[in-house]
Structure 1
Amino acid sequence: MTIRQPTHTPYDGSSKLFTIGLKPLELERWIEVDEFLLPHLAEKRRLYAEIPEKVFVEEHGTRDAQQEVLDLLSAYLPAKYPESHRAAGSTVEVIGLEGAVDEPPSGLREAPLFRASLLVQEDLILMRRGGNGWRLAAGSLCFPSSWSLLEKFGKPLQEIHAPVPGFGPGTRPADLINRMFDGLQGQAVERFNWSIQADDALNHPLYSAQRIDRATNRPTRFADGDINAHAFIRVERQTLRKLPVSRDILFTIRIHLDPLSVLARHADRIALAASFAEQLNALDQAQLDYKGLTADRDRLVGYLAQMAKGA
């Protein structure tokens, strides 16, 4: 993986974990494209070929809304990113993937959301309003952060968020999220989520298996305690945008992966490491369990504390 400065650092205190944290988003900044576009799209194509039923779902009657997403992206991408996307008839193609042949299972090629998903690094989720609130009606989720598209398909928001501490059915955050979805109009919003994982895998449907550290004889994700070699910061940039015709909501999720060690070379490394450690220390037991950090939180905090001291 190419080592570079992080694109986003929400662990600086600007986006606290287990908060809603929605902020206005200018549509000009809706989709992100970087130097990993082609390898990320190649990974999507591999997943579509190997496990299509796990990374794409759709309800009957969502194709018009899916087409709306494809149309929006076809207009947006060549204008915003002419160096990576160009118009091709009524749609758009990714420069460098011209003539690439995709052979998804029968029926998937005709799904506009499938075609849209192979234009961007983001995962694309369609939420539709029904009697039980906003439900997951269609989606391309190639890069999940420890959740399953099949398990969430067709479920309303309050059930989707049931495993999240403090966000389950009947909680104030669950009610607020539903009201925010209802109130979303022409504007877009964004939020960030972040976690730590023990590899650089984009497709991360489950927490990394824990191993026994030989030095401490305790379970850990990080073999032999080598956090510097194995820990990656997983940042999710999420956006919400209500589609103008269908009135469905498009939820996008863009994954950024950075080695934890990259913070040591950041100009603001002391402040970033201190904030990161402080937020990890603030997580309660249920939150640690949900993030899969129960066994490793203290070790991570110690590593970051040393960095914050300039060590």
Structure 2
Amino acid sequence: MTIRQPTHTPYDGSSKLFTIGLKPLEIERWIEVDEFLLPHLAEKQRLYADIPEKVFVEEADTRDAQSEVLALLSPHLIAKHPRSHCGTGSDVEVIGLATATDRLPPTLRNAPLARASLLVQEDLILMRRDERGWRLAAGSLCFPSSWSLQEKFGKPLQEIHAPVPGFGPGTRPAELINRMFDGLQGQTVERFNWSIQAGDALYHPLSNIQRIDRATNRPTRFADGDINAHAFMRVERQTLRKLPVSSDILFTIRIHLDPLKVLDAHPDRATLAASFVEQLLALDQQQLDYKGLTADRDRLVAFLNGIAGSA
């Protein structure tokens, strides 16, 4: 059986944790489509049906900007992903599925951002500028990485990032991020973030700090201790693109999940595992707690050292 290798490996040292790391992105690579498109969209549809208030928010005056998102996505998907998407103009569909509108609960069928979200695997967040900075004005977040859309709705970036070590209000990184958002014009940029989670759940809203190991009283991901069976690498590919009419910024988040153990079959497993270990060991206590890795780091390091040693 062929083992699927990770699409992105930012833990190779190219995207270090707790750094901004924005890089230019060719527009041709803006949206990613892979073999998980249909199951990911099915999971989004399930979440919309079960907990719509937790996965979609919008300010009342964002519908025009939401329509901009749909208008940008539609021709891009038709042109760049003709095997999975078809249509003309802004009328685009996923091949083999009902229209996005038909797959939404009635209360969201007129929300263009919700419709757009059922065309792609990415989550879609609209950021809007006011006197406080860039705030979360609307969003479809079906696959959160340990944060709550309802909790962050309406807040500016510095408050959204307040729990992140070194990125809270008044810090240099917080100021830099706001300046980068202000300076974003026609270009599209991307960055990567990554973490390790227990299990392969895409919907992952619970804060790491809420996962406490009873023995250490520290955040944990692997209460049962079975790294080989349950550890998954969660990679977030994030992009930023300013909308041409509203000047709002579209923030996309694409989640990639791979079992940690697949690294053992990677042709560069020794290099990847060694870099992974180096970055885990470089995290300080506050960063480990934020990532939920304090109680598990030593076990993860030992597991990865075993992969590196088998090369």
Q: TM-score range by the shorter chain?
A: over 0.9
Equivalent position of 2:293 in the other structure: 293
Equivalent position of 1:14 in the other structure: 14
> CA–CA distance in 2 between the matches of 1:81 and 1:299?
41
Q: CA deviation at 1:90?
A: 3.7
> CA–CA distance in 2 between the matches of 1:219 and 1:116?
35
Matched, 1:102 2:110: no
Give 3-state SS (helix, strand or coil) of 1:82's partner: coil
Structure 1 residue runs without a partner (length 5+): none
Q: Pick closer, same or farther for the CA change 1:89–1:185 going to 2, 3 Å.
A: closer
> CA–CA distance in 2 between the matches of 1:26 and 1:89?
22
Q: CA deviation at 1:224?
A: 4.4
> CA–CA distance in 1 between the matches of 2:86 and 2:94?
7
> CA–CA distance in 2 between the matches of 1:207 and 1:80?
36
Q: Contact 1:70 / 1:116 at 8 angstroms: preserved in 2?
A: yes
> CA–CA distance in 2 between the matches of 1:212 and 1:270?
33
Equivalent position of 2:40 in the other structure: 40
CA deviation map 1:192-222 (0-9, x unaligned): 0000000000000015745669xx9x98533
Q: How does 1:1-311 map to 2 (within 5 A)?
A: 3-87=3-87, 90-98=90-98, 101-106=102-107, 108-207=108-207, 209=211, 221-222=221-222, 224-310=224-310
> CA–CA distance in 2 between the matches of 1:308 and 1:177?
36
> CA–CA distance in 2 between the matches of 1:52 and 1:78?
28
Q: Pick closer, same or farther for the CA change 1:22–1:201 going to 2, 3 Å.
A: same
Q: Pick closer, same or farther for the CA change 1:252–1:99 going to 2, 3 Å.
A: closer
Structure 2 residue runs without a partner (length 5+): none
Give 3-state SS (helix, strand or coil) of 1:255's partner: strand
TM-score (norm 2): 0.94
> CA–CA distance in 1 between the matches of 2:33 and 2:212?
33
Q: Pick closer, same or farther for the CA change 1:245–1:256 going to 2, 3 Å.
A: same
Give 3-state SS (helix, strand or coil) of 1:62's partner: helix
> CA–CA distance in 2 between the matches of 1:125 and 1:137?
8
> CA–CA distance in 2 between the matches of 1:13 and 1:242?
28
Q: Read off the aligned partner of 1:267 and give its amino acid letter.
A: P
> CA–CA distance in 1 between the matches of 2:89 and 2:192?
35
Q: Pick closer, same or farther for the CA change 1:280–1:31 going to 2, 3 Å.
A: same
Q: Pick closer, same or farther for the CA change 1:91–1:99 going to 2, 3 Å.
A: closer
CA deviation map 1:112-160 (0-9, x unaligned): 0000000000000000000100000000000000000000000000000
Q: CA deviation at 1:230?
A: 0.4
Q: Read off the aligned partner of 2:183 and give its amino acid letter.
A: G
Tell me the percent identity: 81
Q: Contact 1:63 / 1:112 at 8 angstroms: preserved in 2?
A: yes
Q: Read off the aligned partner of 1:104 and give its amino acid letter.
A: P
Q: CA RMSD in A?
A: 2.0
Q: Pick closer, same or farther for the CA change 1:278–1:58 going to 2, 3 Å.
A: same
> CA–CA distance in 2 between the matches of 1:210 and 1:262?
27
Q: Contact 1:242 / 1:250 at 8 angstroms: preserved in 2?
A: yes
Q: Read off the aligned partner of 1:177 and give its amino acid letter.
A: I
Q: Contact 1:52 / 1:105 at 8 angstroms: preserved in 2?
A: no
